[in-house]
Amino acid sequence: MRSTFSEETAVLYVPVGCHPLANSIPRGAANVGDPALPGDKRVTVYFVDDVEPNAGMLTLADRALCGIGRMMRKAAENCLILPRETLLVVWHR
């Protein structure tokens, strides 16, 4: 059973391959999610792009923190469920 999320378990992903849903994530977006557990076939990813620079999200780190907030709230906006093989872990805390 998966434990509840905390910011200590955030993962930053980049999409790889050519899955149609992964291709819908805007370039430069921060993609955060829970770490995939062994046997997980899908990963829920919350992404925040850089289309709102006036919202104070100027860097990838700013966007990642916003994505973590969305993930903690289980917000539906900018949320995708992707096959695990379409994501590459680039940072794990």
Alpha carbon distances (Å) from 23 to 7, 55, 73, 79 = 26, 24, 25, 13
Please name the amino acid found at residue 65. Answer: L
Number of domains within the chain: 1
pLDDT digits (tens, 9 = 90+) for 45-56: 999 987 765 677
Q: How many CA atoms lie within 13 A of 50 on its CB side?
A: 9
Q: Structure tokens of 67?
A: 């994505």
Residue 88 structural domain: 7-92
pLDDT confidence of 1, banded at 50, 70, 90?
very low
Confidence at residue 92, expressed as pLDDT on a 0 to 100 scale:
82
Segment 34-40 shows an average pLDDT of: 87
Segment 74-84 shows an average pLDDT of: 89
Cα 84 from Cα 63, distance rounded (Å): 22
| Site of tokens 């805007």 | 26
Decide if 1 is inside a domain.
Answer: no
pLDDT confidence of 18, banded at 50, 70, 90?
confident
Decide if 2 is inside a domain.
Answer: no
Phi, psi of 88 (to 5 degrees): -120, 130
Decide if 21 is inside a domain.
Answer: yes
pLDDT confidence of 42, banded at 50, 70, 90?
very high
pLDDT confidence of 59, banded at 50, 70, 90?
confident
Confidence at residue 26, expressed as pLDDT on a 0 to 100 scale:
86
